[in-house]
Each structure stands twice: as structure tokens, then as C-alpha cells.
Amino acid sequence: MSKARVMSGMRTTERIHLGNYFGALKNWVRLQDETDYECFFGAMDWHALTDAFGRANEINEVAREVIADWIAYGINPEKSVIFIQSQVPQHLEINMILSNITPFGWLDRVTTWKDAKEELQAKDAHNLGRFGYPVLQTADILAYQGTHVPVGRDQVPHLELSREIVRRFNRIYKAKLPEMEALLTEAPVLPGLDGRKMSKSYGNHIPLTESAKKVKKLCNKMLTDPKRETREDPGEPEDCQAVYKFHKLVSSAEDLSWVEEGCRSAGIGCGDCKARLAENLNKIMEEPREIKKELLNNPKNLDDIIQDGCARARKEANETLRMMRDAMGFKSFDYPGGRS
């Protein structure tokens, strides 16, 4: 039996925001702190390049900042292995091995490809890299022999394909690579300021280390229950487009009843409600804001942390790669400069 291992990642197309924290990162921190699983978390810059190839020069900086955000919000680089995908070349070698045993039809059926095809075509990103996205993702997980993969629902089709690829590898080469399973994060989808899903492309997001003043301003912009046209109109929190949904994620039971009663009786105004929300959000963001500032002010320190994580990752990934090549009977060799 192989060890239980958590493996996950985020593509580093954009800087991350509170939606990514509540949707994924918070759960990673919980897994790291509350289970015995060894955890591997990757900043997936090759995956970012599949459709953001035109902004290649931004992606390195985004990857560093994303990692700073992870650490600021509780990922401990001593407990968990944190790395940048492109600094672990073994991912690409495993990707190539898997590409050869993944039938074209399997990939063509993946819904994240099928549904995005036209959009991708329109922005000229209808390319082989994007088509093979789930194969590289399988390589990411296999590199660390990940068994538990915390992801959102949208990633389930990828994980199913990953399992099929692993089964095929094991069958062809009589190997025993672990079949990974999705650990579904049932986090509520955090709305953006305008009530739609929080996303940088909608411009409705709150950056993870936004200043306290700016957080207050952003809270003021959030949508409320449209029935409350004036301060005197009572409202219904369940019909509140954004503010109440945030309260449910970050506020105490006491604050929640204050909101619910005050809203329904028009005892409080939306302004009061938003101010309380801003306070509560800022309580959560205060410490991470400081930690991230420290990290970005000491680039050498952050780079050392990342380099150390990448070295640990290369060591693990190299062992898996060697094992895979042995199973295949495809000779391993060390190239000049070594692999790790």
C-alpha cells in the first residue's frame, strides 16, 4: 500500500483572490494541519502557459506571488512541499510517457476541452498544449504518487481521465502506481462584489492581501437585496446578492443573527452591515497581509523557500520517474548536470 499523499496545484495565470482562498487554499491548509498526509502543492506555470502563452513574461512573477499568498494564509513550507512546476523538469518527462498511452479520443471527450473549444479557437489557443492539459495534470499528481487530490467540482472530469491513464500504465507495464482520487472541496462558491462567481476576469474580486482601507471600499460596492431601496425598507438576507453570503463565510453566529434580524426589521442599514463585514474580513486578512509584505520585502528569503521546495519536489519526482522507466524497461540515464 502506498502512503496517503495530498497533491494539488493552481495554475498561475493570474494572482489569486479571496475566492481562491475560500474555494481551495483554506482546505489545503486544513489538510496540512489536520491530517497526517504528506502534502505537495504546485504553482503550475506550464499549465498557465497553455492559454496565457502571450503573457509568458508575467507568469514567473505571478507564480512567486501565488506562493507568497499560500504561505501568508497558512501553508507551511517546512511541513508541505511547495514548488513551481517548470522547475521540476520530471513533470514533462512523465507527461511524455503518459502522452503516448493516452488515446486522442479520451482527450477529445473531456468536457473542459469540448466546452471550451470554440472560445479557445477564437483566442487562438486551440493548441496541442491545451488539448493535453489533463495529461500534464496527471503527470503532476503521479510525480508525487498523490493519492488524494483536493479540487473543485470542475476538475472531476480531469481526475477521471487521470485514473484511466494510470490504470492503462499499470496494465501495460505491470506497474502499481496509485490511482488518485478527488477530494471534493464542498466550499460554497464565493460570490464576487456583483453577486456573480468571484473571478479576476469579471473584475469583481478582492485580492488576498488588499489593504484594510480598500477592503472597506470594496465591501461598500457589494450588491445587497435590491428590495432595500431606502434605509427604511426591510430586506431579506437570503435575497442579498453578495454581502450576506460573505457574512456567512466569515462572521460569528452572533454577527449573523445581528445581520438577519437587523435586515428583516430594517433595524440596521446596509451601510452598517457592510462596515461589520469589512471589519470581519480585515480580521482574517490582517496577519496574512503582514506575512506577505515580509516575504516580498525579503526576496532572497522567499526565493530560498521556493528553491528548497523545488529541490525536495525534484527528488520525489525523480524517484517516481525512475520507477516508471524501470517498469517500462526504458533505460534511465543521468544527463550532464544531473537531474536534481
Q: Which is nearer to ligand SF4, 101 or 256 (CB)?
A: 256
**Helix 243-250 vs helix 253-264: crossing angle, to nearest 10:** 160
Query: Least distance (Å) from ligand SF4 to the CB of residue 257?
Result: 12
Q: Which is nearer to ligand SF4, 268 or 291 (CB)?
A: 268
Give the chain's count of helices (H) and strands (E). 16, 5
Q: Select from ligand SF4, ligand TRP, none the partner in contact with residue 263, using the beta carbon and a kind-dependent cut-off of 5 to 8 Å.
A: ligand SF4
| Order of strands, sheet of 181-184, starting from the edge strand that comes earlier in the sequence | 81-84, 38-44, 5-11, 148-151, 181-184
**Which listed range, 62-70, 136-144, 256-264, 305-313, lies at the site for ligand TRP (CB under 6 A)?**
136-144
Per the CB < 8 A criterion, the answer to whether 181 and 149 are in contact is yes
Q: Is 50 in the site for ligand TRP (CB under 6 A)?
A: no
Q: Is 47 in the site for ligand TRP (CB under 6 A)?
A: yes
The CA-to-CA distance between both ends of the chain, in Å, stands at 27
Please provide residue 330's backbone torsions phi and psi, each rounded to the nearest 5 degrees: -105, 105
Per the CB < 8 A criterion, the answer to whether 246 and 17 are in contact is no
Query: Least distance (Å) from ligand TRP to the CB of residue 263?
Result: 35
Stated as kind and residue range, the H or E segment containing 141 is helix 133-143
**Which listed range, 8-16, 189-197, 214-222, 253-261, lies at the site for ligand TRP (CB under 6 A)?**
8-16
Query: Least distance (Å) from ligand SF4 to the CB of residue 256?
Result: 10
**Which listed range, 25-33, 147-155, 214-222, 230-238, lies at the site for ligand TRP (CB under 6 A)?**
147-155
Q: Quick one: which of 133, 175, 127 has its CA closest to 154? A: 133
CA distance 274 to 268: 10
Q: Select from ligand TRP, ligand SF4, none the partner in contact with residue 208, using the beta carbon and a kind-dependent cut-off of 5 to 8 Å.
A: none
**Contacting residues toward ligand SF4, per CB under 6 A:** 224-225, 228, 235, 237, 240, 243-244, 259, 263, 268, 270, 273-274
Q: Which parts of this chain interact with ligand TRP (CB under 6 A)?
A: 7-11, 44, 47, 137, 140-141, 149, 151, 155
